[in-house]
Amino acid sequence: MAKTPSKKATIVGKQLKKGNLSKAGTRIHTKVHFYRPKTLALPRKPKYQRRAVPRKSTTDKHSIIKYPLTTESSMKLIEDSNTLVFIVDIKANKRQIRAAVRELYNIECDKVNTLITPRGLKKSYVRLSKDFDALDVANRVGVI
């Protein structure tokens, strides 16, 4: 009977050497926290459109420039520094204002300055290039 335990031990030893009883599926964790593994993220394949009509952009040239300002100070700027003053959309930036002025009034501008008034309106000072006269443009627009 002394041989049977030694035979069992040799069989187990052989299996251990062969690698049949190894723990190949487990992984050694070196960090304290568990991070959820990244799984396959498939692209969406909707069965139908959620929106029937695509949204129209609200930044066209007519919605960017609301109206020209016709105060005494703006008239002085028109006469003295070749500058037109507009009230524009609050979300419009200087590039959009410049493009809208170019498209609406067919004029080139050198510089666009903006400020937000205490009433919450955005005021835009559009300095025209030397080729254009602000008085002529103001007459065409209907400011004067």
Per-residue pLDDT for the chain (144 aa), expressed as one digit of tens each?
Answer: 555 678 888 888 887 777 655 556 777 888 899 989 999 999 999 999 999 898 887 788 899 999 999 999 999 999 999 999 999 999 999 999 999 999 999 999 999 999 999 999 999 999 999 999 999 999 998 888
Query: What pLDDT does residue 66 have?
Result: 95
Give the pair of three-digit tokens for residue 37.
């593994």
Whole-structure pTM value: 0.63
Sign for the pseudo-dihedral over CA of 82, 86, 91, 97: negative
CB atoms within 10 A of CB 19: 8
Radius of gyration of the chain (CA): 38
Query: What pLDDT does residue 73 have?
Result: 94
CB of 101 closer than 8 Å to CB of 114 = no
- The span from the CA of 77 to the CA of 3, in Å, is 113
Give the pair of three-digit tokens for residue 136.
């002529």
- The span from the CA of 65 to the CA of 86, in Å, is 7
Query: What pLDDT does residue 138 have?
Result: 92
